[in-house]
């Protein structure tokens, strides 16, 4: 995590976005605007190809196989924060006070009380399945 920089435009986060080409632009822009206002916000994961997804499944970081996750079509991010207690990058209070109010209706956060799954860091594009059917989002390798 030390590779991340709280300068409001973390280059390591950009590298994660660039890991697979064509990350969904509106989600990336939303996060980068959010990071400008809250430089402590970072991502640990954005797109995930086949191998990354199956490895995440094995270490139980994901319940989905390749093709079943919004990460596989470049339409999800996992967020953490670098401030306060450095040993706790997933402080529930930060997500509630800082992240939750910044979310947009077109995003789904798995930390919300009504979320379909419980996964505090995960934010995805609400319509990703539809966008995938329309060919706007594609599986990343």
Binding residue for Zn ion, selected from 27, 28, 42, 52, defined by CB under 5 A: 42
CB atoms within 10 A of CB 31: 22
**How many Å from the N-terminal Cα to the C-terminal Cα in the chain?**
25
Binding flag, residue 48, Zn ion (CB under 5 A): no
Binding flag, residue 81, Zn ion (CB under 5 A): no
CB atoms within 10 A of CB 55: 12
Distance CA 90, CA 129 (A): 27
Binding flag, residue 117, Zn ion (CB under 5 A): no
127, 121, 120: which is closest to 106 by C-alpha?
A: 127
Which residues, listed in sequence order, are joined to residue 42 by a DSSP beta bridge? 80
Q: Which is nearer to Zn ion, 12 or 88 (CB)?
A: 12
Binding residue for Zn ion, selected from 27, 46, 72, 78, defined by CB under 5 A: 78
Q: Which is nearer to Zn ion, 26 or 43 (CB)?
A: 43
Residues 58 and 64: beta-carbon distance below 8 Å: no
Q: Which residue is closest to Zn ion by CB?
A: 10
Binding flag, residue 10, Zn ion (CB under 5 A): yes
Binding flag, residue 52, Zn ion (CB under 5 A): no
Shortest distance in whole angstroms from residue 4 CB to Zn ion: 3
Residues 138 and 47: beta-carbon distance below 8 Å: no
Binding flag, residue 28, Zn ion (CB under 5 A): no
Binding flag, residue 79, Zn ion (CB under 5 A): no
Binding flag, residue 12, Zn ion (CB under 5 A): yes
Which residues, listed in sequence order, are joined to residue 43 by a DSSP beta bridge? 79
Summarize as ranges the residues that interact with Zn ion (CB under 5 A): 4, 10, 12-13, 42, 78, 122
């Amino acid at each position: 995590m030390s590779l991340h920089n709280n300068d409001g435009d973390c280059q390591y986060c950009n590298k994660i976005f660039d890991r697979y080409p064509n990350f969904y632009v509106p989600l990336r822009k939303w996060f980068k605007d959010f990071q400008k206002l809250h430089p402590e916000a970072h991502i640990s994961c954005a797109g995930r190809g086949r191998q990354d997804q199956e490895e995440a499944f094995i270490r139980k970081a994901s319940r989905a196989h390749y093709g079943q996750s919004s990460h596989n079509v470049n339409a999800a991010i996992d967020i953490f924060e670098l401030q306060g207690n450095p040993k706790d990058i997933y402080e529930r209070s930060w997500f509630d006070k800082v992240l939750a109010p910044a979310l947009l209706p077109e995003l789904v956060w798995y930390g919300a009380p009504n979320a379909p799954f419980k996964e505090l860091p995960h934010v995805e594009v609400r319509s990703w399945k539809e966008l995938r059917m329309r060919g706007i989002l594609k599986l990343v390798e």
